[in-house]
Amino acid sequence: MRYYIIAGEASGDLHASNLMKAFKAQDANADFRYWGGDLMKEQGGILVRHYKDTAVMGLWDVLMNLNSIKKNFKLCQDDLLNYQPDVLILVDYAGFNLRMAKFAHAHNVLVYYYISPKIWAWNQKRVKKIKATVDRMFTILPFETKFFEEHGVEVQYSGNPVLDAIDNRANKGESFEAFIERNQLDSRPKVALLAGSRKGEISYNLPDMLQMVEKFPDYQFVIAGAPSFSVEEYQPYIKNKDVAVVSGQTYQLLQQARAALVTSGTATLETALLDCPQVVCYKMWGGGFTDFVAKKILIKVPYISLVNLVLDKEAVLELFQSDFSLDKLEKELGLLLQDGERRQQMLADYAELHQRMGGPGSSARTAQLMLEALKEDKPLNKS
């Protein structure tokens, strides 16, 4: 089979790479062409564009990059038609991928969507676009599956790939001592900083996270370096600060950290599944205006973090836009660093999360479900 895959950020690169690995195990003739990152590249095939050259965040960044977005979209359209895949597999990345779904469907290319765009959270009317342009949806969260079923979308639940990535992580049983020695860190307990994988996320969130460094001098703060950023690119933020950067080892850092400050997204779920207490902090362009629009008009769910959405309660504190303050952040982090009631309750909630999420194996299940579906869904562009 010929697979054209589009992933637009670090988490998509990770999960798409595991899906590609699963395809290769089940399809000896698997051939890949894709938009993604280094992890997908390790699985072979042709990388057309790296996500670090395409990712934008927020309305302002989109407006400032309209020309490059249009050029990327045109490149993807032409490349897709030239490749003539058996199936186009879209991985999250809603702004770009929903447009590609419409284009592909109009040109009789079979479209599967893996890792749903968060239309259940805001602008739910987009489900109509998915129903009209996506042949099958493969979901990774139970409440997503129910949402799409209720809207008449062909959907299958295949488990969550985060569990695979965590289970397959390197240095799984590493000791704290071995970790700090390998990364040349000091012996203080660690606070992990996960400020996102995109420039916009980092510029809006990391400076405030770093305000906590002087508040907790008995802890070493360590930035989980995003795959698309070099250590040098973090230097303007951490200059003259007692902060370290560890790149390409987010899971390894989280399994050793006492607590973490995390932007919303898949990272909150990963942090919880690695049993690291966390504070969710998320700021973006627009201040109070963005906050009003998000909460009163766009966001249709009660929480922004996947941990709270899966558990259907505020297990982790969410400091989003106007809810964010340095005082709140300092207070919550202080509670999580202590062996007190707040920390123990969060760890108990994490145990419940583990039960709800199940175990690893979703990448293989997704590949199997897609291959079975391909036997039924004869690609429309094939004779």
Rg (CA), the chain: 21
Residue 242 falls inside a structural domain = yes
- Give the per-residue pLDDT at 33: 98
One domain, residues 222 and 135: no
In a domain, 383, yes or no: no
Average pLDDT, integer, range 247-257: 96
One domain for residues 88 and 41? yes
Give yes or no: residues 251 and 302 share one domain.
yes
Residues 217 and 140 reside in one and the same domain: no
**For residue 155, what are the β-bridge partners?**
137
Angle at 195 between CA 191 and CA 196, to 5 degrees: 135
> What's the DSSP call for residue 56?
-
Query: Using 50, 70 and 90 to split pLDDT, how confident is the model at 123?
Result: low
How far, CA to CA in Å, does 209 sit from each of 248, 261, 382?
A: 20, 7, 52
Tens-place pLDDT, residues 145-183: 888 999 999 999 888 988 988 998 999 999 999 999 999
134 and 218 share a domain?
no
Neighbours of 175 (CB within 10 A): 10
Task: Judge whether residue 122 has pLDDT over 70.
Answer: no
Pick from 22-26, 263-267, 284-288 the range whose average pLDDT is largest. 22-26
Give me the residues paired with residue 5 across strands.
Answer: 34, 89
3-state secondary structure of 280: strand
The torsion of the CA quartet 373, 378, 382, 383, rounded to 10 degrees, works out to: 160
Whether 136 and 177 map to the same domain: the answer is no
- Cβ–Cβ under 8 Å, residues 258 and 188: no
Please check whether residues 259 and 131 belong to one and the same domain: no
* Structural domain includes residue 199: yes
Domain total of the chain: 2
What CATH number did the domain enclosing 258 receive?
A: 3.40.50.2000
The C-alpha atoms of residue 206 and residue 355 are separated, in whole angstroms, by: 32
pLDDT for 60 beyond 70:
no
Q: Which residues pair with 4 in a beta bridge?
A: 33, 88
pLDDT confidence bin for 297, thresholds 50/70/90 = very low
- In this structure, the answer to whether residues 205 and 336 fall within a common structural domain is yes
Tell me the residue range of the domain where 20 lies.
Answer: 2-165+360-376
Do 176 and 155 lie in a common domain?
no
The CA–CA distances, whole Å, from 75 to 68, 258, 337, 342 equal: 10, 45, 48, 50
DSSP 289-319: HHHHHIIIIIB-SS-SSHHHHHHTS-SS-EE
SS3 99: helix
pTM of the model: 0.74
Q: What is the DSSP letter of 122?
A: B
Q: Tell me the HSE value of 36 on the side-chain side, using a 13 A CA sphere.
A: 32
309 is a domain residue = yes
Pair (194, 317) in one structural domain: yes
Is residue 382 domain-resident? Answer: no
Are residue 324 and residue 200 in the same domain, yes or no?
Answer: yes
Do 366 and 352 sit in the same domain of this protein? no
Q: CA 285, CA 294: separation in Å to the nearest integer?
A: 12
